[in-house]
Chain A
Amino acid sequence: MYLVTKWFGVFLCDEKGVKKKILFPKDEKEISKRLIEIDKNKVLSEEKKIIKNVKEQLVVNEKRLHRYGVYKPNDPFFIEFDIEPRDFGFSENLLHKAAKVVAEEKTLEELKSKDLQIIQMVNALDDLIQVSNLLSERLERWKSISASKKKIQPLENVFSMVDSSIKYFEKQIEDDMRDIAPNLTNIVGPLIGARLIAFAGGLKKLSSLPASTIQVLGAEKALFRYKKEGGKPPKHGVIFQHPYINTAPRKFRGKIARAMSSKISIAVKADVFTKRDIFKELKLVLDEKVKNIKNL
């Protein structure tokens, strides 16, 4: 017996056809509610109900349902046997409407997610830092030829505003980073951590990257040039900003970058998957490693 869930209902079937069914209400809100549950990996109440008192072994094609039957995603039954919504009085126009509700809700939720906000904040921060540098240079030059207070005041105002925005974003990024990625934050600091997330395109994406890619994140142009034209591979991207690397003698930098990125990779995986704090041990190991490299 096969357990099949479609957007319009749940079905128990065998080779001959549908044996038992529970249809969903013909309402886009009700349908979208169930599609969202499914998306969140939950088991629907209709699914629990339909399999009650079923003695036979069930086959399912979603991991979500693996507790209720054997998981066989490639069983030809699922491809050959189509359950048509129209046969049960559902028009696909209803699916169009329900899918839109689901996509809208999920989109909103994902756009709100903290890592995407952090990416925007850290990019804004880097813009502000650039502006601040420009303004401070201008102010200095102006003052060197002695400026009239009245004329220079507006620029001073903007400069101090930019500076307070910088402080604001630094604080906000640090708070959010400690919240979503405590291990990463403790290994490389909130700002480098945030820039790594930005270059990867999200925390989850960062967690799926190999250490060798993390090592050169932010140096994409250099990496591309190397792969196409050969020469020296770039040794480090954003993580070069870390004092471990940029205060080390040049000849050690590549090795330290490699050690760091491997620890970063472990830290981010813990932040995303196990959610356990492992940074104390990681940091000890990393510090030891850096010391050894320098003493070589």
Chain B
Amino acid sequence: MKATSITGVYKEKNRIYTENLPCCKGSTVYNERIVYYRDREFRSWNPYRSKLAAAISNGLKISFKTDSKILYLGAATGTTVSHVSDIVRDGWVYAVENSPVAMKKLLYTCGKRHNVIPVLADANHPERYGSIVSGVDFVYQDVSQRNQAEIFKTNVFRYLKKNGEGVLMVKARSIDVSLKPKKAYELVCLELEDAGLKIERRIDLHPYDKDHMVILVSYF
């Protein structure tokens, strides 16, 4: 098991891992494999199940620190949230999700994680969680909605600290099924750039996800 250039992400052979939090010893979130190395417990991070793992496997460098504050939009049932929570062990993950069915499961899978703050809310209306969330270092978004660029912008402007970064997972089909994926990504990037965000990198999630692109954005 070796550390990688990304804080909190480890590698062994061709798989990536995060170190499980002490409060969650021995428990898994989505039946991922647990391995032990020098008395430390690592959870395997499956790129077929988590788009962030897919992005990292395809070369995405993210700037998480152990004490980063992350605004996570579209937390779903906590697959990726749990790994982010492993990485920012001394920081916070505000996990926003608007489906009560998903939230119920998220509370079950990540309720014990002391650095996860669950928020049942619609990311279209960031001001509704204004008393809970404040100044974050990173905005992560995976909501597969048609207006996802809009959702991303309003949250970035309200909560992302200057010099912060953000990641947007774009599913081409949810932008417009009649467009070629390339065109759909182009539209999203243009909308972000028009709002003054800088596109740092774009990485295709192939072969882990079909017609998905991750966009890394910075904000000054």
Could you list which residues of chain A lie within 8 angstroms of chain B, going by C-beta atoms?
A: 5-7, 35, 38-39, 61-63, 73-74, 78-79, 82-83, 92-93, 95-96, 99-100, 102-104, 106-107, 110-111, 116, 224, 227-228
Contacts and interface: CB of A to CB of B under 8 A. Distances in A.
A227 B118 contact: no
A73 B127 contact: yes
Nearest to B101: A111
Contacts of B92: 92
Nearest to A62: B127
Given A39-B128, A61-B127, A227-B178, A107 B103 contact: yes
Contact of A99 (B118, B128, B158, B159): B118
Interface stretch (B5-13, B50-58, B129-137, B204-212): B129-137
Contacts of B159: 79
7 contacts: A39-B121, A62-B127, A103-B118, A111-B100, A111-B101, A224-B177, A228-B178
Contacts of A35: 131-132
Nearest to B133: A7
A159 B127 CA distance: 53
Contacts of A38: 131
B107 A104 contact: yes
- Chain B: interface secondary structure? mixed
Given A79-B135, A103-B107, A73 B158 contact: yes
Given A110-B120, A228-B178, A100 B134 contact: no
Nearest to A92: B92
B125 to A, nearest CB: 9
A100 B107 contact: yes
- Chain A: interface secondary structure? helix
Contacts of B157: 74, 79
Contact of B134 (A63, A83, A96): A83
B177 A227 contact: yes
A60 B20 CA distance: 41
Interface residues of B, number: 27
B135 A103 contact: no
B52 to A, nearest CB: 22
B117 interface: yes
Contacts of B130: 5, 61-62
A100 B131 contact: no
A114 to B, nearest CB: 13
B104 A96 contact: no
Given A82-B134, A106-B103, 14 more contacts: A5-B130, A7-B132, A39-B121, A61-B130, A79-B157, A96-B114, A96-B117, A99-B117, A99-B118, A102-B120, A106-B120, A107-B107, A110-B100, A227-B177
B117 A95 contact: yes
B88 interface: no
B188 interface: no
A116 B92 CA distance: 32
Contacts of A107: 100, 103-104, 107, 120
A227 B180 CA distance: 11
B107 A228 contact: no
Nearest to B134: A82
A6 B133 CA distance: 9
Contacts of A82: 134-135
Interface string B106-125: 01000100111111110000
A7 B114 contact: no
Residue with the greatest number of chain B CB neighbours at <10 A, chosen from A35, A99, A102, A106 = A99
Nearest to B161: A79
B111 A100 contact: yes
B158 A96 contact: no
Given A73-B158, A227-B177, A63 B131 contact: no
